């Protein structure tokens, strides 16, 4: 969605209002996409005419101000997010409470003076409820009558009409008190969520002709030199060209252990310089920096709604009108059909109107999901949408790629074995020349071993090899072919070199050794003659076994899929004690395996390195990429990105998702149960206005505070 823009909605103090704005925008011609995130007070929209968008918002919610955020990203506002002054609210509440308590204290004395009673209670009522009454009247003129302001106004005005002045004032006052604490709770939760992601640097120290100038990160260009002092955030991705230090990467990875950097090392925006002064050459513009991509992903995640959010939006659309219809029936049918007096039945109907507000659900459910996404981001786990929280929570099978996911992927040549008259140096040289153009980790390890002369050369089996091939002062590549999942084939200086696994040797009909050793075996053949093999060792990640054990405790079946040989896969599988493994797989074979796993034990999550595993990541129910710091390909392809490559973050993400689901449905169940219970009591005439206020504001506050538990 290239036309996507983000706007701050200042004064958005109502979850139901956020739903109304979103639905109204989606109806407008020229609006391709619209999502309002109440948790962050933000609008994400793709529209041809932004003026029309602003006009629509003003029509639905005149008090909401639309502000374009040129700087982008999350902000932590110091005051309340809705633009109201909490001190003024508190003064109104105290003044109204004083008048209300005075009226209650005077009691019978005041009751004998009707004019004084009405003046006192009505003053308290207006002080507490003028804003609610004004909003209700404004919304009625726009055809929006099914909101909490309208319901509360009708309920309290009705109570005044039937001479229940203390209850009318009490309900409005306690509703206002509840709103005050609800606003504080929501504001706190917004700030807590945003503070988790407040990793965006605000300035850069740009070096220009020997001078240091403080500028916005957006103004720095690729190739510019910036200086990062101790304690400062690194503002842009780049390469250290002077100095050394330790950097705190916890904002990006969730890990507290500092990382040492020196000249030639890469640093990323969002890291904090903890030690010495470092000078950095910028390698990416701010818009493409790591911190910008992270913030963009988390912002966009709010627009991908979970099933529970969609359910609540649909539910609220029918629930409130249904309760109003029930209240109308209660107020009219018994008096008209049975000749009952109107007053008690109208009172019951007014109680139902107070109970019916769906704020507890409309507010707490989106807040829960956004808190979950923020919590995961703090742990170094980027979840690209609330819908993926749902899928993660129901994951029953987790499939891992081996190389670079369960293992470090830092291959090194452990041994070279020569055959048929070739020397160890010959075998490594031929392999290195053939692999020179490959980016595969195994290929790079072979090239590095040859270039660094890491092997102690010993003579191989007897036999002679053409000296022109041995010396290789210059070489020319006539042809080069990388065979996916097998190896490479190249023609260099007239010699045909084949480097690859056992399957490639069979495919090329070359007699070779069958090796049962620890490590990956790379066979080498020159001009159809088997030259020997290279043992390339990889190491398991320190937390790989922990990841498998934790997933099993969560009830997940753990599967390993790899393109490596069956012998190596079996050894790794035995060490990790995975439930099953599949070996010698091409990328398309991995897709077939994952397709076969679907439906066996819940949803299937696949964790891979995000590049050569792209097809299978796309086909899994939820694709998890071991993104690594700054891996663009991983961030693009997956639904979930593990920023520090730790497989133990996979069970952690599932645990966060399941806790979120538990709290979401806990809130839904609690709110519906309490409201249903009080609707029954209200219909029977047992519940009063006081209980109705608890069923509305009280339940909302409890649900919001319950959602806040996700952050801790």
Give the torsion sign (CA, 341, 343, 349, 352): negative
Tokens of 299: 């912002």
Helices (H), 467-578: 467-471, 502-507, 544-553, 566-576
- Residue matched to tokens 């790794």: 572
Closest CA to 379 of 255, 501, 479: 255
**401 tagged catalytic:** yes
Q: How many CA atoms lie within 13 A of 690 on its CB side?
A: 5
Cβ-based neighbours of 479, under 8 Å, separated by 6 or more: 489, 490, 491
Q: Which of 493, 449, 488 is nearest to 467 (CA)?
A: 493
How many CA atoms within 13 Å lie on the side-chain side of 313? 18
Nearest to 382 by CA among 251, 564, 485, 279: 251
Residue 617 near residue 400, CB atoms below 8 Å: no
DSSP track, 176-202? HHHHHHHHHHHHHHHHHHHHHT-----
What are the angstrom distances between the C-alpha of 342 and each of 29, 160, 325, 337, 681? 47, 14, 17, 11, 18
Please count the helices (runs of H) and the strands (runs of E) in the chain. Answer: 25, 26
Cα–Cα distance, 102 to 117 (Å, whole number)? 10
Enter the tokens of residue 393: 């929570």
CA distance 215 to 221: 11
What is residue 651's DSSP assignment?
Answer: H
Q: What is the dihedral of CA 575, 580, 583, 585, to 10 degrees?
A: -140
CA distance linking residue 313 with residue 358, whole number of Å? 10
Distance (Å, rounded) from C-alpha 219 to C-alpha 203?
10
- How far apart are alpha carbons 284 and 13 in whole angstroms? 38
Q: Which of 3, 128, 6, 698 is nearest to 359 (CA)?
A: 698
Strands 603-608 and 395-401: parallel
Q: Around Cβ 197, how many Cβ atoms within 10 Å?
A: 22
Distance CA 458, CA 427 (A): 12
Any idea of the CA torsion for 274, 280, 285, 287, to the nearest 10 degrees? 0
> SS3 string of 398-440?
EEEEHHHHHECCCCEEEEEEECCCCCHHHHHHHHHHHHCCCCC
- H or E element that contains 525: strand 520-526
Give CA–CA dist 526/530, Å, rounded. Answer: 7
Is residue 489 helix, strand or coil?
strand
- Given 237, 401, 564, 613, which residue is catalytic? 401
Residues tagged active-site: 401
């Amino acid at each position: 969605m290239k036309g996507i823009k983000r706007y701050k909605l200042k004064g958005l103090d109502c979850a139901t209002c956020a739903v109304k704005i979103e639905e109204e925008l989606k109806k407008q011609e020229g609006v391709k996409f619209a999502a309002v995130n109440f948790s962050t007070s933000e609008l994400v929209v793709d529209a041809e005419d932004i003026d029309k968008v602003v006009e629509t918002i003003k029509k639905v919610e005149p008090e909401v101000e639309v502000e374009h955020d040129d700087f982008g990203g999350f902000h932590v506002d110091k005051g309340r997010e809705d633009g109201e002054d909490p001190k003024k609210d508190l003064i109104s509440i105290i003044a109204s409470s004083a008048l209300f308590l005075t009226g209650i204290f005077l009691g019978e004395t005041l009751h004998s003076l009707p004019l004084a009673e009405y003046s006192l209670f009505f003053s308290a009522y207006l002080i507490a409820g003028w804003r609610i009454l004004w909003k209700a009247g404004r919304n009625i003129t726009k055809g929006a009558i099914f909101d909490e302001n309208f319901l509360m106004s009708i309920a309290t005005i009705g109570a005044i009409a039937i001479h229940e002045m203390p209850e009318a004032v009490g309900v409005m006052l306690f509703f206002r008190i509840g709103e005050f604490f609800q606003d504080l709770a929501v504001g706190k939760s917004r700030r807590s969520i945003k503070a988790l992601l407040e990793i965006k640097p605000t300035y850069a120290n740009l070096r220009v002709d020997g001078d240091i100038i403080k500028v916005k990160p957006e103004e720095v260009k690729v190739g510019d030199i910036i200086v990062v002092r101790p304690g400062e955030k690194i503002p842009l991705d780049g390469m250290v060209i002077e100095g050394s230090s330790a950097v705190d990467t916890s904002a990006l990875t969730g890990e507290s252990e500092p990382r040492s950097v020196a000249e030639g090392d890469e640093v990323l925006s969002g890291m904090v310089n903890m030690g010495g002064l470092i000078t950095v050459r910028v390698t990416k513009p701010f818009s493409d920096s790591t911190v910008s991509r992270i913030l963009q992903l988390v912002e966009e995640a709010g627009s991908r709604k979970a099933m529970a959010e969609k359910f609540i939006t649909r539910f609220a659309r029918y629930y409130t009108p249904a309760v109003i219809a029930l209240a109308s029936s209660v107020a009219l049918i018994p008096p008209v059909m049975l000749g009952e007096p109107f007053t008690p039945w109208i009172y019951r109907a007014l109680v139902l109107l107070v109970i019916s507000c769906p704020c507890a659900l409309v507010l707490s459910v989106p807040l829960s999901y956004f808190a979950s996404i923020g919590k995961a981001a703090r742990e170094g786990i980027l979840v690209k949408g609330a819908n993926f929280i749902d899928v993660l929570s129901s994951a029953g099978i987790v499939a891992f790629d081996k190389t670079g996911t369960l293992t470090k992927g830092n291959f090194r040549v452990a041994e070279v074995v020569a055959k048929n008259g070739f020397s160890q140096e010959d075998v490594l040289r031929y392999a290195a020349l053939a692999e020179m153009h490959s980016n595969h980790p195994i290929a790079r390890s072979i090239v590095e071993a040859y270039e660094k002369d890491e092997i102690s050369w010993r003579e191989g089996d007897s036999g002679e090899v053409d000296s022109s091939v041995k010396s290789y002062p210059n070489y020319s590549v006539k042809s080069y072919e990388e065979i996916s999942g097998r190896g490479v084939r190249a023609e260099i200086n007239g010699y045909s070199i084949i480097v690859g696994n056992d399957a490639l040797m069979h495919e090329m009909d070359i007699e070779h050794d069958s090796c049962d050793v620890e490590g990956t075996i790379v066979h080498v053949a020159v001009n159809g003659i088997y030259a020997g093999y290279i043992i390339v060792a990889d190491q398991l990640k320190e937390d790989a076994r922990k990841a498998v054990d934790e997933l099993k405790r969560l009830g997940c079946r753990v599967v390993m899929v790899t393109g490596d040989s069956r012998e190596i896969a079996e050894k790794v599988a035995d060490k990790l004690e995975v439930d099953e493994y599949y070996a010698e797989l091409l990328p398309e074979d991995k897709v077939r395996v994952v397709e076969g796993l679907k439906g066996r034990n819940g949803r299937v999550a696949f964790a891979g390195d995000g590049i050569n595993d792209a097809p299978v990541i796309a086909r899994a129910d939820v694709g998890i990429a071991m993104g690594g710091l700054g891996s663009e390909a991983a961030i693009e392809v997956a639904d979930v990105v593990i920023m520090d490559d730790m497989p133990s973050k996979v069970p952690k993400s599932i645990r966060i998702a399941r806790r979120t689901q538990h709290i979401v449905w806990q809130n839904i169940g609690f709110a519906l149960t309490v409201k249903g219970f009080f609707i029954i009591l209200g219909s029977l005439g047992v519940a009063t206005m006081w209980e109705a206020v608890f069923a509305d504001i009280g339940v909302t506050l409890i649900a919001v505070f319950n959602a806040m538990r996700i952050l801790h």
